[in-house]
Amino acid sequence: MTTFANKTILITGGAMGIGKLFAEKGIQDGAKIVIWDINESALQNTVNELKAKGGDISSYVVDVSSPESIEQNAKQVLDAVGTVDIVFNNAGVVVGSYFVDHTVQQIERTVKINTLGVMHVARAFLPAMMKKGAGHLINIASAAGMIANPKMSVYAGSKWAVIGWSDSVRLEMEQMGHKNVHVTTVTPSYINTGMFDGAKAPLLTPILEPAALVEAVWEGVKKNRAFVRAPLTVYLIPMMKGLMPVRVFDFVAGKLMGVYKSMDQFKGH
């Protein structure tokens, strides 16, 4: 059972959206909060707001697409607060367009932030957790990492990688004898934060409200769950893909549920 009271929690992309809500939950539960974000003005506004609520909070301007930025700031955090007990790997970006319309820069940025950034952040903080014999790494992936979707190819690819890597690290911690260093992989569908503005909810898969998702993740982390998926229909994806021939699954997901048309009107931030 992971507890948050008196723990140090680091959140990437914590200046807004669900990252900010994770910070608020941590404060409510008596944790010390460290926020990383590249948006300096939003970061300062969030820090001021949370400090006004009595939060013990510090912040760092970090570019998670840069290993150098991650390593430099991780060292500062570890020197300042000691071992980080819980890390929310939350920072992410999305480009909603066909693969052939992506620029080189968009592909590179998406993979650097969504995939490599997540790995480098974990690499920076896991050794101290292992040495302490306790910790929790929460990696915010996506249901897009479980199901193909037009106009999400690079984003989906970046999240597929996160899911495979994240759950492998969970098993590695157990295999190496670090059973109290937990890893939770989160695979939500579309979230109503503005990041997926214009996306259409597939059948039986409503757009998630940020506060509800944060509550679900929080409870899942407390119970050391390997996966937190939302909404409930996301739990059916592995079973459906495993049982159905590809074209049958395409018909169900694409034609009946409307997944493959869900990004047609995507606008984003």
pLDDT of residue 268: 77
d(CA 64, CA 73): 10
d(CA 126, CA 64): 16
Asked whether residue 160 is assigned to any structural domain, the reply reads yes
Domain with 87 in it: what CATH number? 3.40.50.720
Name the residue range of residue 93's domain: 8-261
* Residue burial 77-94, b: 16+ Cβ < 10 Å; e: rest: beeeeebbbbbbbbbbbb
Asked whether residue 3 is assigned to any structural domain, the reply reads no
Sign of torsion over alpha carbons 154, 113, 94, 225: positive
CB of 154 within 8 A of CB of 95? Answer: yes
Which residues are catalytically annotated? 155
Asked whether residue 1 is assigned to any structural domain, the reply reads no
Domain count of the chain? 1
pLDDT of residue 267: 87
According to the 3-state scheme, what is the secondary structure of the chain?
A: CCCCCCCEEEEECCCCHHHHHHHHHHHHCCCEEEEEECCHHHHHHHHHHHHHCCCEEEEEECCCCCHHHHHHHHHHHHHHHCCCCEEEECCCCCCCCCHHHCCHHHHHHHHHHHHHHHHHHHHHHHHHHHHHCCEEEEEECCHHHCCCCCCCHHHHHHHHHHHHHHHHHHHHHHHCCCCCEEEEEEEECCECCCCCCCCCCCCCCCCECHHHHHHHHHHHHHCCCCEEEECHHHHHHHHHHHHCCHHHHHHHHHHHCCHHHCCCCCCCC
Residue with tokens 């890893």: 183
pLDDT of residue 211: 97
Asked whether residue 63 is assigned to any structural domain, the reply reads yes
Residues of the chain with pLDDT under 70: 269
Q: Give which of 151, 113, 234, 150 is closest to 185, Cα–Cα.
A: 234
pLDDT of residue 1: 73
Angle CA 84–90–91, to nearest 5: 115
Residues in the chain: 269
Asked whether residue 256 is assigned to any structural domain, the reply reads yes
Asked whether residue 2 is assigned to any structural domain, the reply reads no
Asked whether residue 266 is assigned to any structural domain, the reply reads no
CB of 213 within 8 A of CB of 17? Answer: no
Asked whether residue 152 is assigned to any structural domain, the reply reads yes
d(CA 5, CA 75): 24
pLDDT of residue 269: 67
